[in-house]
Amino acid sequence: MATKKFIIEVEEGMTNCCECPEGFSCGGSSFLDCCDYNLATIKIKEYEDK
């Protein structure tokens, strides 16, 4: 089975509760703290070895 790598980009700032993506628990207990990052700006890109 092949393994792929991804890059997660997210802007600093605070996430508004109404913009929080589903699956993230409130209060910043996930791997990305909603008080430090705006989770509504998440971008996932496939990592390309150059």
Region 11-15 average pLDDT = 88
**Tens of pLDDT along 14-45?**
888 777 776 666 655 566 777 888 888 889 99
- CA contacts within 13 A on the Cβ side of 18: 0
pLDDT for res 27:
59
Name the more confident of 49 and 24.
49
Which of residues 30 and 47 earns the better pLDDT score?
47
The strand pairing partners of 43, in sequence order, are: 9
Predicted local confidence at residue 39, as pLDDT: 83
Residue 27: Cβ-neighbour burial (10 angstroms; 0-12, 13-18, 19+): exposed
Strands 37-46 and 6-12: antiparallel
- In this predicted structure, what is the pLDDT of residue 18? 77
